[in-house]
Amino acid sequence: MIPQPQDFQAIWPLIFLTVWACVLLLVDLFISKERKGITALLSALGLALTLGFTLTQIGQGITAFQGMVVLDGFAVFVNALLLVTGLLGVALAYGYVKRMGLERGEYYTLLLFSVTGMMWMAQAADLIVVFLALELLSIPLYVLAAFARPRAESEEAGLKYFLLGAFATGFVVYGTALVYGATGSTNLVAIVERAAPGSENLLLLSIGAALILVGFGFKVAAVPFHMWTPDVYQGAPSAVTAFMSSGAKIAGFAALLRVFATAFPSISVDMTDILWVLAAATMILGNVIAIAQTNIKRLLAYSSIAQAGYILMAFVPYGNPDVAPNSIAAGLFYLVAYVITNFGAWGVVIALERSEGRGLELTDYAGLARKHPLLAAAMAVFMLSLIGLPPTLGLVGKIYLFSAVIDGGFYGLAIIGVLTSVVSAYYYLRVVVIMYMRDGDPQTQREPFLDFTTIATAVATVVISLVPQFLFAWASTAVLKLF
């Protein structure tokens, strides 16, 4: 296979970011330990330039490398969101790694390589490429989770994430082998062409798809593949957790959508029931167990699990061509709302976390409204958005989600979503009550990039909720070519 010019045109931003990360790894060798902030700024510059290149691809439709990679509206939308996630991740880490004594240049290089793997997930049109992308995004995250060595909690987080992640990846490989055995191909378009309803290999294809779903379920922290999430989120450095909880979810859901909507519509009847159960179980377990948490990192970990359940709702009607486009657009919109809100909440967590590992209990937020009213107001906005209350982006996202699920006829799932949202109000509002109604003397860290990220995400959470049409319209355009 001889690559053609259009092949490189489809992956030009990926090539640029990969080269930038490799060069940055070498340049960092000549940057002194006291000036590693330069490495952070260079990594942010690389992400910003890649984002610019990605936005120039809007409206393009290219199939590259003999159908193994695709560039379409969906890929551009997801890649842009992933690059913004990388920029926010660098902003949160800039001051945090200094304060925690973790200022090593390879942190940012690992982050860039992980973002590259996530972008490959969005453009993968072959199960082999999906597997390679999954490994490229995961291996740097394993290292980053243990980046606070020799702290035992961080090393434990990295080891747990690595072992369970490797185990989950095995399911993807085995599922890919079964799909190949059933259809004779790993290309997503070829799979759907060869998997006609009534085929004798349909059972083998269904088993393969279920195994692949296990791997994706681990990456997005869906029940029952969520067990690693609380311990890893708590043990990993908070800046790493913020990036991981957003970027890995986006990539996981992007692959889930691309693979199932493109390759497995013939088994949508079987998969719909499985996705329904996964979404319901994830929403219920995440919200119920979060009630008992007293550590803010574990609370946000279970919150992340619950939010994965809401996003999974959008994938349930993927086999219905009349409903699926709006449903997937709602899922993409909610992903944006979750990323903005999630990064803002973790920004507040990082602001209160101290080098001794203190400042992570809910009681440490007592008196925050009196001492730092803007920070408390921002956290209140994020908590309201995660519940789905006005005037926040989370409310608009849930309206789109529930409307799409109801249009698909899944009334029971919509009811579960509403009820679990009511349950979530208890533990989210508990944070607000502690900040505003209890006395305390919280210690906060004031860092320019951290403050900017927190304020910007809080403003975006409110402002975009007032004019959400443009974002939903872009999300709708992004999914049209999948069906």
Q: What is the DSSP string of 7-54?
A: HHHHTHHHHHHHHHHHHHHHHGGGS-GGGTHHHHHHHHHHHHHHHHHH
DSSP tag of 62: E
Q: What is the pLDDT of residue 420?
A: 94
- Range 256-271 average pLDDT: 76
Whether the CA torsion 30, 34, 40, 41 is positive or negative: it is negative
- Range 451-479 average pLDDT: 88
Q: What is the pLDDT of residues 1-24, one digit of tens each?
A: 566 667 788 889 999 999 999 999
The answer as to whether 74 is a domain residue is no
Q: What is the pLDDT of residues 185-229, one digit of tens each?
A: 888 888 877 766 555 577 888 888 889 999 899 888 888 888 888
Residue 373 and residue 317 in contact, taking contact as beta carbons nearer than 8 Å: no
- The token pair that represents 32 in the structure block: 């002194």
pTM: 0.93
- What is the CA angle 98-104-110, rounded to 5? 120
The answer as to whether 333 is a domain residue is yes
The answer as to whether 117 is a domain residue is no
Whether the pLDDT of residue 481 is over 70: the answer is no
Q: What is the domain range of residue 285?
A: 269-483
Question: What proportion of the chain, given as a percentage, has pLDDT over 90?
Answer: 49
CA pair distance 402, 410, nearest whole angstrom? 9
Whether the pLDDT of residue 471 is over 50: the answer is yes
The answer as to whether 168 is a domain residue is no
- Range 387-406 average pLDDT: 91
Q: What is the pLDDT of residue 482?
A: 43
Q: What is the pLDDT of residues 132-151, one digit of tens each?
A: 999 999 999 999 999 988 88
The answer as to whether 302 is a domain residue is yes
Whether the pLDDT of residue 429 is over 80: the answer is yes
- Mean pLDDT is highest, among 186-190, 193-197, 383-387, 437-441, for 383-387
Per the model's pLDDT, the better-predicted residue between 480 and 158 turns out to be 158
Q: What is the pLDDT of residue 319?
A: 66
Of 11-20, 49-58, 204-213, 335-344, the least confident = 204-213
Q: What is the pLDDT of residue 191?
A: 84
Confidence of residue 483 (pLDDT cuts 50, 70, 90): very low
Per the model's pLDDT, the better-predicted residue between 379 and 268 turns out to be 379
Q: What is the pLDDT of residue 113?
A: 95
- Range 433-447 average pLDDT: 84
Whether the pLDDT of residue 410 is over 60: the answer is yes
Mapping DSSP to helix (H, G, I), strand (E, B) and coil, where does residue 64 land?
strand
- Range 286-306 average pLDDT: 93
Q: What is the pLDDT of residues 81-135, one digit of tens each?
A: 999 999 999 999 998 888 888 888 889 999 999 999 999 999 998 999 999 999 9
Whether the pLDDT of residue 480 is over 60: the answer is no
Q: How distant, in Å, are the alpha carbons of 94, 131, 200, 262 from that of 97?
A: 6, 31, 56, 41
The answer as to whether 449 is a domain residue is yes
- Range 376-387 average pLDDT: 94
Per the model's pLDDT, the better-predicted residue between 42 and 58 turns out to be 42
Residue 117 and residue 204 in contact, taking contact as beta carbons nearer than 8 Å: no
The answer as to whether 242 is a domain residue is no
Question: What proportion of the chain, given as a percentage, has pLDDT over 70?
Answer: 95
Q: What is the pLDDT of residue 347?
A: 93
Confidence of residue 477 (pLDDT cuts 50, 70, 90): confident
Q: How distant, in Å, are the alpha carbons of 126, 175, 190 from that of 180?
A: 11, 9, 10
The answer as to whether 112 is a domain residue is no
Number of folded domains that form the chain: 1
Q: What is the pLDDT of residues 368-377, one digit of tens each?
A: 888 889 999 9
Confidence of residue 409 (pLDDT cuts 50, 70, 90): confident
Whether the pLDDT of residue 164 is over 70: the answer is yes
